Amino acid sequence: MTTLRAALRLGAGAHPAALSCLLALMLGSAALPVGAAWCTKLLLDEIGQGPDAQLGRAIRFAVLAAALVALATAANRLVSYLTAVVQNAVGIAANVSLYARVNAFLGLAPFEQPAFRDRLMLAQQAAEQAPYTVVMFAVGSAQSLVTIVSFAGVLLTLWPPAGLLVLAVAGPEFAIQLALARRSARATEQANRFYRIRFLYQGLLTDLRAVREIRLFQLGEFFHGRLTGALRRTGRIELDARRHAALVSAGWALASAAVALIGTVTVVAAVLRGDLTLGDLTIFLAAVGAVQSSLSGIAAQLGEVGASMRLFRHYAAVVHGPADLANGTLTAPPLGAEIRFEDVWFRYDQDGPWALRGLSLSIPAGRATGLVGVNGAGKSTLVKLLCRFYDPQRGRITWDGVDLREFDLTTLRARLGAVFQDFMCYDLTAEENVGIGRLPYSPDAVRRAATEAGVHDRLADLPHGYRTMLSRSFTDEDGETGVTLSGGQWQRVALARSLMRADADLLILDEPSSGLDAEAESRMNASLARVRQGRTGLLISHRLSTLRDADRILVLAAGQVAEAGSHDELMATGGDYSRLFTLQAGGYRLATP
Ligand SMILES: Nc1ncnc2c1ncn2[C@@H]1O[C@H](COP(=O)(O)OP(=O)(O)OP(=O)(O)O)[C@@H](O)[C@H]1O
């Protein structure tokens, strides 16, 4: 019931003015068909008087019937338009709320849960349909009721059992439509997993980045086969539901046609006996048709409402569901002393392996801390916890002694700048790609950050300078195809984006120079050293030479700190760091002729 109320509120609140006009028009025009049918009956009765018929009266009835039909048709056209207006407004309002909620998730966990993603997709479908269906059902039923009551009055006057027969057909029709709708909603839910798989392969086959590998490894057939499989699975589930619905509805249509036939034969017999007129027969036929189609219309709509409400539960669960992370209330202050990890244990899944196992470390303010470790050691996980994308299961992370969970996350994240290992390349202009690091941005700030990241010249040289679209998939506002950058240039753009927050309390650089050529890397290192001067930095790299100047280097192994110290100290201890550094340096020496 709460879900129904929520859907009604959403549907009715989206465009109240259009909805009121729609309601008035639908109710106002609901009695027009019975008026037109009655005039037609009077016209036929007049004609049926043969030589005694009055031409003037007959013409009056004909004109009135035609006028009422014309009015009903015009009203229908307006109703279609207003319906589209309401549907459009409802669709926008529902999607705005849905994505506002999605945006309000503070962490990453919901996006990594297949069950949540299934639910999100059903919620997207429900957002488009449910509130609109519920409102239209309410309005449509009111209109149908007016039509039914007026025609039922006519039927009862002419031949009372006919009214009762039609109503007897309606009861089971309701039950059937509801059962069919429930089955159709279940089919949608079942097919949902295959829909997502279908979208995955449709996306892969058209994604510009994926297309390269797909062509080279000749994966087209492989993915196409999987897409075909998913298409067939969804198609089969949908068709099963439809076949069942078609068979049940067809059977029921035959039963209700039999009722109409019994009524028609009885009335025709009465006409032949002279008890009823030809006009009575026409209005009887019109009434049976109108009452039956209105009743089955209500039943079908009721079924749709049932199916939509089943889907709308998913929408309500997302929009009104619990927050993924509890937000704190304190405003994060500038970092004064240090960030500490205190015996932090973390794993991504409840029964998965631990990614961090009792990690304890300190990131002192105003210093550069380097982080190294083999693949899977937990470096990126540490960064994600630092940004509070997840909370540790045990232990805590503190910012000047205060648990990160105490802070309002907007204020905490405003104090962080980061380049992630898998940074984003946005289909936006060059200026936006950099500027969104700190919104709202000024063009000067964008150019300064791009200069620091060593990418200003490249961006300024683009066909439309900073206004060039960095995309081969989307055109700019003038319809011109954009350009795309090299991997290293994109990396510098991502770095420039993070440097829009060069004054951030903590600058996290996760493999910032992995894609750069040697010269660019050395220039970037010098530039970063300048930017980081006196700031707190956390630098992660597999190229140990990049970290050499860090004040302190932490070596992570299996989710714990294995070694810690300056470059010279770590080299002196002869541990893993020293071994890896010597290995890398040796590689460079071997490469030198
Ligand atoms: N989103 C995730 N869900 C589940 N497990 C994950 C997720 N991200 C990382 N892991 C697991 O956590 C462990 C640590 O991964 P992490 O990405 O932190 O390592 P890393 O040190 O950054 O490695 P690399 O040098 O390869 O980037 C790995 O075993 C990885 O499989």
Residue located nearest, by CA, to atom 7 of ligand 1:
348
| Whole-angstrom distance, CA of residue 31 vs CA of residue 49 | 28
| Residue 581: closest CA among 563, 566, 567, 565 | 567
Residue located nearest, by CA, to atom 6 of ligand 1:
348
376 alpha carbon – ligand 1 mean position (Å): 5
Three state DSSP letters for 398-422: EECCEEHHHECHHHHHCCEEEECCC
Distances (CA, A) of 121 to 315, 400, 462: 9, 41, 39
Using a 10 angstrom Cβ sphere, with 0-12 exposed, 13-18 middle and 19 or more buried, the burial of residue 326 is exposed
Q: Which of 350, 357, 379, 510 should be mutated for ligand 1, with most atoms under 8 A from CB?
A: 379
The SS3 call for residue 506 is strand
| Whole-angstrom distance, CA of residue 462 vs CA of residue 455 | 11
Residues with Cβ within 8 Å of residue 89, at least 6 apart in sequence: 14, 15, 18
| Whole-angstrom distance, CA of residue 547 vs CA of residue 553 | 7
Residue located nearest, by CA, to atom 16 of ligand 1:
378
421 alpha carbon – ligand 1 mean position (Å): 12
The pLDDT assigned to 382 comes to: 95
232 alpha carbon – ligand 1 mean position (Å): 35
| Whole-angstrom distance, CA of residue 248 vs CA of residue 564 | 73
| Residue 126: closest CA among 185, 198, 196, 194 | 185
Q: Which two tokens stand for residue 349?
A: 């899944």
Residue in the structure block whose two tokens are 């219309």: 297
| Residue 139: closest CA among 312, 21, 290, 36 | 21
Contact present, 135 and 85 (Cβ < 8 Å): no
Closest atom, ligand 1, to C-alpha of 377:
21
Q: Which of 111, 348, 540 should be mutated for ligand 1, with most atoms under 8 A from CB?
A: 348
The answer to whether the complex's ipTM is over 0.90 is: yes
| Whole-angstrom distance, CA of residue 146 vs CA of residue 152 | 10
The domain defined by 423-503 folds into Rossmann fold (3.40.50)
355 alpha carbon – ligand 1 mean position (Å): 7
User: CATH top-level class for 2-319?
Assistant: mainly alpha
Main-chain dihedrals φ then ψ at residue 407, nearest 5 degrees: -90, 150
Residue located nearest, by CA, to atom 4 of ligand 1:
348
356 alpha carbon – ligand 1 mean position (Å): 10
- Adjacent-strand bridge partners of 402: 399
DSSP string, 465-494: GGGSB--SSSB-TTS-B-----HHHHHHHH
Closest atom, ligand 1, to C-alpha of 511:
27
| Whole-angstrom distance, CA of residue 510 vs CA of residue 371 | 9
Residue located nearest, by CA, to atom 29 of ligand 1:
376
| Whole-angstrom distance, CA of residue 586 vs CA of residue 567 | 17
Residue located nearest, by CA, to atom 31 of ligand 1:
376
Contact present, 11 and 129 (Cβ < 8 Å): no
Residues with Cβ within 8 Å of residue 73, at least 6 apart in sequence: none
User: Along the 593 residues of the chain, how does pLDDT read in single tens digits?
Assistant: 566 677 777 777 778 898 889 888 888 888 888 888 889 888 888 888 888 888 888 899 999 999 999 998 999 899 889 888 888 888 888 889 889 999 989 998 888 888 888 888 888 888 877 877 887 787 788 878 888 888 877 777 777 766 666 666 666 766 777 777 778 778 877 787 788 888 888 888 887 778 877 887 788 889 999 999 989 988 898 888 889 888 888 887 787 778 778 877 887 888 888 888 888 888 878 877 777 778 777 877 777 787 778 788 888 888 888 888 999 999 999 999 999 999 999 999 888 999 999 999 999 999 999 999 888 999 999 999 999 999 999 999 999 999 999 999 999 999 998 888 888 899 999 999 999 999 899 999 999 999 988 899 999 999 999 999 998 877 777 777 788 898 888 988 998 999 898 778 999 988 877 666 677 777 777 767 776 677 798 999 888 877 888 889 999 998 999 999 999 999 998 888 898 888 877 655 554 44
Q: How far is CA 100 from the centre of its chain?
A: 10
Which residues line ligand 1 at a C-beta cut-off of 6 Å? 112, 348, 355, 373, 375-381, 421
The pLDDT assigned to 592 comes to: 47
555 alpha carbon – ligand 1 mean position (Å): 16
Residue located nearest, by CA, to atom 28 of ligand 1:
376
377 alpha carbon – ligand 1 mean position (Å): 7
348 alpha carbon – ligand 1 mean position (Å): 9
- pTM here is 0.76
Residue 556: enclosing H or E segment and its boundaries? Answer: strand 552-557
The pLDDT assigned to 19 comes to: 85
| Whole-angstrom distance, CA of residue 438 vs CA of residue 500 | 6
Task: Give start-end residues of each CATH 1.20.1560.10 domain in the chain.
Answer: 2-319
Residue in the structure block whose two tokens are 């470390």: 361
| Whole-angstrom distance, CA of residue 507 vs CA of residue 539 | 8
DSSP string, 328-351: --BPPPPP-SEEEEEEEEE-SSTT
CATH superfamily of 333-415+507-567: P-loop containing nucleotide triphosphate hydrolases (3.40.50.300)
| Residue 389: closest CA among 348, 338, 335 | 348
| Whole-angstrom distance, CA of residue 61 vs CA of residue 173 | 36
Closest atom, ligand 1, to C-alpha of 556:
21
Q: Which two tokens stand for residue 251?
A: 């059977």
Using a 10 angstrom Cβ sphere, with 0-12 exposed, 13-18 middle and 19 or more buried, the burial of residue 226 is middle
Closest atom, ligand 1, to C-alpha of 542:
25
Task: Give start-end residues of each CATH 3.40.50.300 domain in the chain.
Answer: 333-415+507-567, 423-503
Residue 129: CB atoms within 10 Å: 22
Q: Which two tokens stand for residue 490?
A: 């994109």
Closest atom, ligand 1, to C-alpha of 373:
21
What is the residue type of 323? A
| Residue 515: closest CA among 423, 380, 381, 416 | 423
Regarding beta strands 416-419 and 506-510, do their DSSP bridges make them parallel or antiparallel, or are they unpaired? parallel
